[in-house]
Amino acid sequence: MHTLVLGGAKSGKSAFALEMGRRIISAQSISESRSRGLFVATAQALDAEMEERIRRHREERGKEWETVEEPVNVPELLRGRPAEYSVILIDCLTLWLSNIMHHYPHHIELHCTDLCHALQNTTVPVIMVSNEVGMGIVPESAQGRQFRDHAGRLHQQVAGVCARVVLTVAGIPMFMKGEDIA
């Protein structure tokens, strides 16, 4: 059962996704030998501020998470070794999309479709965090509008293969599709 967690900047979406992941790890560690999660970080440390942010987030996650930094090849990672883990958490899809737009500007839809195919064939629960960028003002630049439009289409595609879609506002998760895990 995959989950898409959407929200604005600093809305609490990552904290909610981590807590959901921890509950999955705890539930599976009681019944199975898998008791770790895989955290897929799509951010790249391109400056000192981002390096510090990544370091701080890694410390906050704790030892129950193995972290892999993968800015582009997320579908390949999902096809690779997910059975080792109780849950996979991808943070975040909008940074992944930005990386795809930068590296593969003529193949964006192909990469988004590939991600959804990989999700459909992944039996380990996957929680994906993404910024909902389509609820604000219309971006001033053509590139900004392109990004917003691609993000909206990506969210629709991913939501279609997820059992749960959660919108987080002011730290409050609202289930748009499906129900919370026990």
Banded pLDDT at 31 (limits 50, 70, 90):
low
Residue percentage of the chain with pLDDT more than 70 = 96
Residues contacting 120, CB < 8 A, separation 6+ = 161
Q: Indicate the residue type of 95.
A: L
Q: Which of 57, 102, 103, 155 is catalytic?
A: 57
Short-list 11, 17, 10, 6, CA closest to 39: 17
Q: Is 3 exposed, middle or buried (0-12, 13-18, 19+ CB in 10 A)?
A: buried
pLDDT digits (tens, 9 = 90+) for 68-80: 999 999 999 999 9
Q: Which two three-digit tokens encode residue 149?
A: 């439009």
Which of 4-13, 29-38, 67-76, 171-180 has the weakest average pLDDT? 29-38
Which secondary-structure segment (H or E) carries 22?
A: helix 13-31
**Residue 57 annotated among the catalytic residues of the structure:** yes
| C-beta separation of 43 from 54 below 8 A | yes
**Rounded-to-integer distance, Cα 118 and Cα 73, Å:** 11
Per-residue pLDDT, averaged over 152-174, amounts to: 97
pLDDT digits (tens, 9 = 90+) for 100-151: 999 999 999 999 999 999 999 999 999 999 999 988 889 999 999 999 999 9
Question: pTM here?
Answer: 0.93
**Rounded-to-integer distance, Cα 63 and Cα 67, Å:** 10
SS3 percent helix, strand, coil of the chain, rounded to 5, is 50, 20, 30
